[in-house]
């Protein structure tokens, strides 16, 4: 039986195309390669169709098309990735199936957060979606339906660099609002910085000038194309999370004189979590942290960890903003990028299997989106097993719980320094209030407005609070407490009873 889909690429000597055909059981597409290097027959046995030709990507693809037009016309969809794209065959097939299911003309997989991402941030993965309808798909890895390819193929001859084609395609398609998309359900990694390929030095024409010329030929104003827009989203109904496939991150605020305990917490994350994750840290006026944290990561050879440290030199904010202000900033940066965001204090050491057991709970309770575990002190006694809030006489009271009689328990809340958020807690409208302190109580009240009323406590997800002696963070300053009391009175009409 002939394949319904085609993957075609112009490839050099460092091509990653072998990742595209593994696992072999998922490869239900044809692979065509146009090799522009100097080793005759180099990739002949790697693909279904093989060409050797000097030249740039889209002119090479057009050449292959000219050699086998009838076969091209039989494919339901065609994907044209750069040769530095890392993705497997299962993801590629999912990509093709989504193009067909949603009747798309033009689409691309979303980029992983550790990809080299250029100007077009719209192409970066956003959690919780199957796809986002847009007016832009990058020349890096466009996928076309049969009709989309027929509409655009003749443009491939117009640009050596490819510049201008990604502006032209949506417009000659008529800029439909529901036919062009970035597919968040499928992720690919761009492994090389933009404009560093071995063919760029050979370009005769300046790419920007070439792009303007291409647009002009099709009656398009280049300057009108410089804003990428999102027209709508198709939200994912898939509730199951997987530590190997889903994007997980930690957000940790820290401040002065707490470097020692922070490094201990990070060491345990690096040692005990065997899968990739992103680590976001806000430095609230401590000494620079990046050099030591980078050494920690390199020492354990964790090349799969993405580290982001905000305000490490104090240039972002000269004044302390407190744990709440730091969490607000990091949550805004991560809530649409990651499937799971774990809020961690700098003195909260997770025990092995904490993340895996919380993910298991997320899959067991797919309608919940806030999770926490058991927090113990150095003496082994339970300090937190969730929390209850109560409003009485316009006063908000909080009661921390220490009993845990079953594997899972439902409470109002938990310590925000040891909580995990997913699904509907990670949407554009949800935010952690930027309070110096008491941000957790305000966050709880905010989530209630969105119908998020319960926190799942996971008994086999344990952590140690202050695993070593640590100086006070001095967050509960009297003047800050007064500010927060005023905030709660103004926004919620409540006094704080704790």
pLDDT value at 96 more than 70? yes
Q: What is the pLDDT of residues 340-355, one digit of tens each?
A: 999 999 999 999 999 9
- For residues 128-144, give the mean pLDDT: 94
- For residues 51-68, give the mean pLDDT: 96
Instruction: Give 31's pLDDT tier (boundaries 50, 70, 90).
Output: very high
- For residues 295-310, give the mean pLDDT: 96
Residue 483: the pLDDT is 84
Enumerate the β-bridge partners of residue 326. Answer: none
Residues with Cβ within 8 Å of residue 366, at least 6 apart in sequence:
239, 240, 423
Residue 263: the pLDDT is 97
Residue 202: the pLDDT is 65
pLDDT value at 108 more than 90? yes
Query: Strands 248-255, 143-145: parallel, antiparallel or unpaired by DSSP?
Result: unpaired
Instruction: Give 259's pLDDT tier (boundaries 50, 70, 90).
Output: very high
Q: What is the pLDDT of residues 81-90, one digit of tens each?
A: 999 999 999 9
Nearest Cα to Cα of residue 107 among 139, 150, 137: 137
Within 10 A of 229 (CB to CB), how many other CB atoms are there?
11
Residue 197: the pLDDT is 61
Residue 75: the pLDDT is 97
Instruction: Give 410's pLDDT tier (boundaries 50, 70, 90).
Output: very high
Which range among 6-10, 101-105, 360-364, 480-484 shows the weakest confidence by mean pLDDT?
A: 480-484
- For residues 114-142, give the mean pLDDT: 90
Instruction: Give 318's pLDDT tier (boundaries 50, 70, 90).
Output: confident
Residue 80: the pLDDT is 98
Q: What is the pLDDT of residues 109-122, one digit of tens each?
A: 999 888 988 778 89
Domains and CATH numbers, the chain: 5-235 (3.90.550.10), 248-496 (3.90.550.60)
- For residues 311-334, give the mean pLDDT: 93
Residue 482: the pLDDT is 83
- For residues 41-63, give the mean pLDDT: 96
Residue 237: the pLDDT is 62
Relative orientation angle of helices 290-299 and 259-272, to the nearest 10 degrees: 30
- For residues 143-159, give the mean pLDDT: 96
Residue 226: the pLDDT is 87
- For residues 231-255, give the mean pLDDT: 82
Nearest Cα to Cα of residue 413 among 378, 375, 380, 376: 375
Instruction: Give 93's pLDDT tier (boundaries 50, 70, 90).
Output: very high
Enumerate the β-bridge partners of residue 444. Answer: none
State the average pLDDT for the chain: 92
For 403-436, give the secondary structure using H, E and C: CCCCCEEEECECCCCEEEEEHHHCCCCCCCCCCC
Q: What is the DSSP string of 269-309?
A: HHHH--S-EEEEEEEES-S--HHHHHHHHHHTT-TTEEEEE
Residue that the structure tokens 């992103």 belong to: 278
pLDDT value at 243 more than 80? no
Q: Residue 353, class by beta-carbon neighbours within 10 Å (0-12 exposed, 13-18 middle, 19+ buried)? A: middle
Q: What is the pTM of this model?
A: 0.65
Give ∠ CA 367-409-462 in degrees, rounded to 5.
Answer: 105
Within 10 A of 70 (CB to CB), how many other CB atoms are there?
6
Structure token digits, residue 244 = 């190997």
């Amino acid at each position: 039986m002939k394949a319904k889909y085609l993957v075609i690429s112009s490839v050099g000597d460092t091509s990653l195309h072998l990742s595209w055909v593994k696992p072999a059981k998922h490869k239900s597409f044809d692979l065509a390669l146009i090799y522009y290097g100097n080793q005759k027959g180099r990739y002949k046995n790697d693909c279904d169709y093989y060409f050797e030709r000097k030249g740039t990507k889209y002119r090479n693809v057009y050449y292959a098309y000219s050699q086998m037009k009838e076969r091209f016309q039989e494919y339901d969809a065609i994907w044209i990735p750069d040769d530095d794209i890392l993705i497997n065959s299962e993801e590629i097939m999912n990509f093709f199936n989504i193009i067909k299911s949603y009747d798309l003309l033009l689409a691309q997989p979303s980029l992983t957060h550790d990809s080299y991402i250029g100007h077009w941030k719209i192409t970066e993965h956003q959690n919780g979606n199957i796809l986002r309808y847009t007016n832009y798909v990058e020349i890096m890895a466009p996928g076309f339906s049969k009709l989309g390819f027929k509409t655009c193929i003749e443009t491939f001859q117009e640009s050596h660099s490819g510049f201008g084609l990604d502006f032209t395609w949506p417009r000659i398609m008529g800029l439909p609002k529901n036919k062009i998309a970035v597919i968040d359900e499928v992720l690919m990694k761009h492994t090389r910085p933009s404009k560093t390929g071995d063919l760029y030095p050979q370009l005769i024409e300046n790419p920007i000038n070439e792009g303007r010329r291409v647009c002009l030929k099709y009656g398009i104003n280049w300057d009108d194309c410089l804003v990428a827009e999102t027209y709508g989203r198709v939200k994912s109904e898939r509730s199951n999370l997987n530590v190997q496939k889903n994007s997980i991150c930690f957000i940790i605020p820290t401040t002065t004189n707490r470097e020692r305990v922070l490094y201990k917490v990070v060491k345990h994350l690096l040692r005990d979590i065997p899968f990739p994750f992103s680590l976001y840290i806000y430095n609230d006026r401590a000494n620079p942290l990046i050099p030591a944290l980078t050494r920690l990561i390199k020492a354990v050879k964790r090349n799969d960890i993405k580290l982001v440290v905000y305000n490490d030199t104090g240039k972002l904010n000269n004044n302390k903003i407190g744990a709440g202000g730091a969490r607000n900033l990091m949550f805004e940066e991560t809530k649409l990028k990651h499937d799971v965001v774990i809020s961690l204090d700098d003195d909260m050491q997770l025990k092995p299997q904490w993340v895996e057991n919380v993910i298991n709970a997320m899959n067991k309770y797919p309608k919940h989106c806030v999770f926490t575990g058991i927090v113990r002190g150095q003496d082994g006694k339970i300090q937190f097993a969730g929390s209850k809030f109560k409003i009485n006489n316009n006063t908000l009271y909080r009661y921390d719980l220490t009993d845990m009689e079953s594997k899972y328990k439902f409470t109002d809340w938990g310590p925000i320094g040891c909580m995990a958020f997913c699904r509907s807690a990670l949407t554009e409208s949800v935010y952690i209030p930027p309070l110096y302190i008491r941000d957790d109580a305000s966050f709880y009240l905010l989530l209630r407005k969105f119908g998020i009323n319960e926190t799942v406590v996971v008994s086999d997800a344990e952590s140690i609070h202050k695993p070593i002696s640590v100086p006070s963070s001095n967050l509960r300053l009297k003047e800050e407490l007064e500010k927060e009391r005023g905030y709660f009175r103004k926004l919620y009409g409540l006094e704080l009873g704790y």
